[in-house]
Amino acid sequence: MVVFLPINKLNFGILSTFLILFLFFQVLFMAHSFVVRHNFITLFIYKDDRTTQKLLFPLIFFLQIFVLLLQSSSIKRDNV
């Protein structure tokens, strides 16, 4: 059964929140499987390791850009 929601501010906010949460958990799952596959257990244990920052900072950066794009598109829809 397919339910079509009208695109208003509330529904767009809820859908974008679920999409962001889904992408966040998918990135966490990919990072976890990468760590388990390569036995990089020290990657998340030791805070002095720079490879953790090399892996996580680009993911967080692109996730923030995605959130900003979603917010700007919702603002453009509200102003029209």
Q: CB atoms < 10 A from the CB of 24, how many? A: 13
pLDDT at 80 over 60: no
Pairwise pLDDT comparison (50 vs 20), residue with the higher score: 20
Query: How does pLDDT run across 23-77, given as a tens digit for each residue?
Result: 887 777 777 666 666 555 544 555 555 555 566 667 777 777 777 777 776 655 5
Collapsed DSSP state (helix, strand, coil) of residue 36: helix
How much is the pLDDT for 50? 59
pTM of the entire structure?
Answer: 0.36
pLDDT confidence bin for 5, thresholds 50/70/90:
low
User: Which contacts qualify for 46-55: CB closer than 8 Å, 24 or more apart?
Assistant: 55/31
Which two three-digit tokens encode residue 53?
A: 């920052």
